[in-house]
Amino acid sequence: MKFRSPKMLRTLAAASCVSLMTMGGAAKAADSTQPIVIPLHNWSSQVVMAYVIGGMFESMGSNVEYVPADSQAVYESIRNGDVTISHEVWQSTFGKSFYNAMAKGGVIDAGTHSATTLEEMGVPTWVIEENLCPGLPSWEALKDCPEVFATADSEGKGRWLEGPQSWHGDLMPVRLEALGLADTWTVKFAGGADALWTELASAKKEKRGTIIFNWTPNFTDADGFTFIEFPEYFDGCRKEDGGDGSCGSPKGWLKKAANYKFPKTHPAAYTAFSKLDFTTTQIGEMAALVDIDKMDHKDAAAKWLADNEDVWMPWTQ
Ligand code: TMO
């Protein structure tokens, strides 16, 4: 390279001075003061974890904003930057929306939690212990005992109580058809997650069989909940992926997602978010603080942060 002028020389000298400082670590980029936008969905661990992660970011000096968001549409909102992160991307329910948004450009995979997941129909374990439907948890047992799971509004059919329809649309009605169970079984959608927990409690009190949609990690891991074993999941078995839908849910991953600009605008917060990793036990605890201990989500998060500094503080350093 030829130096053309003294001015150019001075510019180059200044530039190399800056790069030396950067190499020495003295000139870390500061995080933007723009808020990190965290979505709130409609199941307890997700909301508690939102405030746990927000509290972690605030401890690092970041500004945080929380927005209620649809749990499918949120990946498009992350892609276009209206929402910054998603901290519970469940493979079975949201994997497709996550990768669809990623393929359009703007969503990054910010790592995978240690917890593995299952989102599936199942029964409280006492239903199996009391042998209310011999052969459970194999799905084929359902052919012989729909009446055990009939309810006032199920017209004599066995009832599956699904979660809110916003989670996975017609996944379960399609599955009943595909497995040849639709003549004797029907799906009802719960208005919210709380309706699932109310149903578990009342079925136990009345000693009546019940089949609900549930997931792990969740607070129910501790009480005994058994997922029904359906024909094994494989890529392409669902209707939306070209299959007939006669398969169960995947034993899946739990990922973190972020808008592609987040590492650049908030490098320290992004680094902490990428290190952050929750286990099955930790996620179950976050849900239990709300669904068993009846704490408010924010108070539950504050308690979790106070009790677990040794877990999350290292991620911020
Ligand atoms: C997305 N969920 C954990 C409720 O299945």
The pLDDT tens digits for 123-146 are 999 999 999 999 999 999 999 999
User: Residues enclosing ligand 1, CB less than 6 A?
Assistant: 43, 90, 93, 119, 163, 167, 215
pTM: 0.91
Residue among 119, 213, 278 to mutate when testing ligand 1 (max atoms within 8 A of CB): 119
* Atom 4 in ligand 1: residue holding the nearest Cα: 43
Q: Do 125 and 109 fall within a single domain?
A: no
Q: Do 233 and 171 fall within a single domain?
A: yes
Domain membership of residue 188 (yes or no) is yes
- Quote the ligand 1 centre to 262 CA distance (angstroms): 25
Domain membership of residue 30 (yes or no) is no
- pLDDT class for 27, splitting at 50, 70, 90? low
Mean per-residue pLDDT of the chain:
93
Domain membership of residue 51 (yes or no) is yes
Mean pLDDT for 233-254 is 97
Q: Do 59 and 146 fall within a single domain?
A: no
- Of 241, 272, 287, the one marking the end of a domain is 241
Residue among 74, 87, 215 to mutate when testing ligand 1 (max atoms within 8 A of CB): 215
Domain membership of residue 235 (yes or no) is yes
Domain membership of residue 61 (yes or no) is yes
Q: Do 92 and 191 fall within a single domain?
A: no
> Using H for helix, E for strand and C for coil, what is the string for the chain?
CCCCCHHHHHHHHHHHHHHHHHHCCCCCCCCCCCCEEEEECCCHHHHHHHHHHHHHHHHCCCCEEEEECCCCCHHHHHHCCCCCEEEEEEHHHHHHHHHHHHHHCCEEEEEECCCCEEEEEEEEHHHHHCCCCCCCCEHHHHHHCHHHHECCCCCCCEEEEECCHHHHCCHHHHHHHHCCCCCCEEEEECCCHHHHHHHHHHHHHHCCCCEEEEEECCHHHCCCEEECECCCCCCCCCHHHCCCCCCCCCCECEEEEEECCHHHHCHHHHHHHHHCCCCHHHHHHHHHHHHCCCCCHHHHHHHHHHHCHHHHHHHHC
Mean pLDDT for 276-284 is 98
Q: Do 67 and 165 fall within a single domain?
A: no
Q: Do 223 and 124 fall within a single domain?
A: yes
Q: Do 222 and 261 fall within a single domain?
A: no
pLDDT at 12: 42
CATH number (domain holding residue 126): 3.40.190.100
- pLDDT class for 223, splitting at 50, 70, 90? confident
Mean pLDDT for 31-54 is 98
Mean pLDDT for 138-167 is 97
Confidence check: pLDDT of 301 > 70: yes
Q: Do 79 and 129 fall within a single domain?
A: no
Tell which atom from ligand 1 comes closest to the C-alpha of 42.
4
Please give the share of the chain, as a percent, with pLDDT higher than 90: 91
Q: Do 66 and 87 fall within a single domain?
A: yes
pLDDT at 26: 54
- Quote the ligand 1 centre to 140 CA distance (angstroms): 25
Confidence check: pLDDT of 14 > 70: no
Confidence check: pLDDT of 217 > 70: yes
Confidence check: pLDDT of 173 > 60: yes
Number of domains in the chain: 2
- Of 241, 271, 294, the one marking the end of a domain is 241
Domain membership of residue 23 (yes or no) is no
Mean pLDDT for 228-245 is 97
CATH number (domain holding residue 55): 3.40.190.10
**Parent domain of 279:** 36-116+252-316
Tell which atom from ligand 1 comes closest to the C-alpha of 45.
3
Q: Do 142 and 90 fall within a single domain?
A: no
